[in-house]
Amino acid sequence: MKHLYTWSAIAVIVLASTAGDVLLSRAMKQIGDVGELRRRSGLLSVVGSILRHPSFLLGVLAMTVAFYSLLFGLSWGDVSLVAPASASLTFVASAIAAKFFLHERVDHRRWLAAVLVAAGVLLLAA
Amino acid sequence: MTVRKYLVLAGVTIFAAMGDSLLAYGMRQVGSLSWHHLPEVILAVFNPWVALGVLLLLGFFASYMTALSWADLTYVLPATSLGYVLLALIARFWLHEDVTSSRWLGILLISAGVGFVTQGPALTHHPPASVSEECLPAIASTRAEP
């Protein structure tokens, strides 16, 4: 039963942090290159437009859910399982989500990078 | 990709790794928290190491948002995963923890992944016509890759 709780927490962490990453990425792509924007209209105006962007706010909300699920997950399972499993699954889930929701061109090189990093993170924590 | 952009990616990596390490170091001093003592949770941020860690993580968030404004998510995530390698090296050389051979293999795999992704383009260019019907019109950016 504890096992089920731990893996449910990991699933929620992966889903929430992937949703958060996708939403934040979408917000920043819609806002545009912040370096250029800052030169044109100043830092405060850039920060203001980021903080008012609905996708940014939703993304932060999703990240908050992911953070608290991590806290719950850590209280149910071992840190050596929960942290690396959720981090490495998030790399792969983000690549899939970025392809379908952000229409990024995820070529062989990027798939390979996502899988290598995911495997590497697992090994680091092993 | 310009030097400034590589510096932002380095910022994401370094701020995250240093912020997490400082937070962990500070929280070890604070001791374990419990929901029955909420004031302790709030007081924890007054520990200088925790405060510095939070400051660095704010720097991480700012540079992460900056990177996402001109690079794909599937570029930024692997490119900044060197932070895990940095954490392992900090653990080995600063905290004198044992880094096993499977961890060195993990470091190797992550570095290879970073090498792969950074050789490719940072941003997907969506031709305006093909995306105009879809739900993300603003992503159909016509900005040129600098």
**B138 neighbourhood in chain A, CB within 8 Å:** 29-30
Residue of chain A whose alpha carbon sits nearest to that of B85: A124
Gap between the Cα atoms of A16 and A20, Å rounded: 6
pLDDT at site B93: 79
pLDDT at site B58: 93
Q: How confident is the model at residue B128 (pLDDT cuts 50, 70, 90)?
A: low
Does B117 sit within 8 Å of A102, measured CB to CB?
Answer: no
* Of residues B106, B97, B111, the one with CA closest to residue B25: B97
Does A21 sit within 8 Å of B74, measured CB to CB?
Answer: no
DSSP secondary structure, B84-136, as one string: HHHHHHHHHHTS-----HHHHHHHHHHHHHHHHHHHS-SSPPPPHHHHTTSS-
Is B141's pLDDT higher than 60? no
Between A and B, how many CB-CB pairs are < 8 A?
A: 139
Domain ranges in chain A are 2-125
Does A124 sit within 8 Å of B88, measured CB to CB?
Answer: yes
Does B106 sit within 8 Å of A121, measured CB to CB?
Answer: yes
pLDDT digits (tens, 9 = 90+) for A103-117: 988 888 889 989 999
Does B116 sit within 8 Å of A116, measured CB to CB?
Answer: yes
pLDDT at site B28: 74
- Look up the pTM and report it: 0.80
Mean pLDDT of chain A: 89
pLDDT digits (tens, 9 = 90+) for B14-67: 998 888 888 877 877 777 666 666 677 677 778 898 899 889 999 999 999 999
Does B70 sit within 8 Å of A35, measured CB to CB?
Answer: yes
Chain A contact residues (CB < 8 Å to B):
21-22, 24-26, 28-35, 50, 91, 94-95, 98-99, 102-107, 109-110, 112-117, 119-126
User: Residue A97: phi, psi to the nearest 5?
Assistant: -65, -40
Nearest-neighbour CA in chain A from B117: distance (Å)? 6
* Of residues A101, A98, A19, the one with CA closest to residue B135: A101
Q: What mean pLDDT comes out for the span A26-50?
A: 91
pLDDT at site B35: 64
Q: Which of B4, B36, B58, B73 to mutate to test the interface with A (most CBs of A within 10 A)?
A: B73
Query: ipTM of the assembly?
Result: 0.85
Nearest-neighbour CA in chain A from B48: distance (Å)? 22
Q: How confident is the model at residue B69 (pLDDT cuts 50, 70, 90)?
A: very high
Nearest-neighbour CA in chain B from A82: distance (Å)? 16
Gap between the Cα atoms of A44 and A59, Å rounded: 21
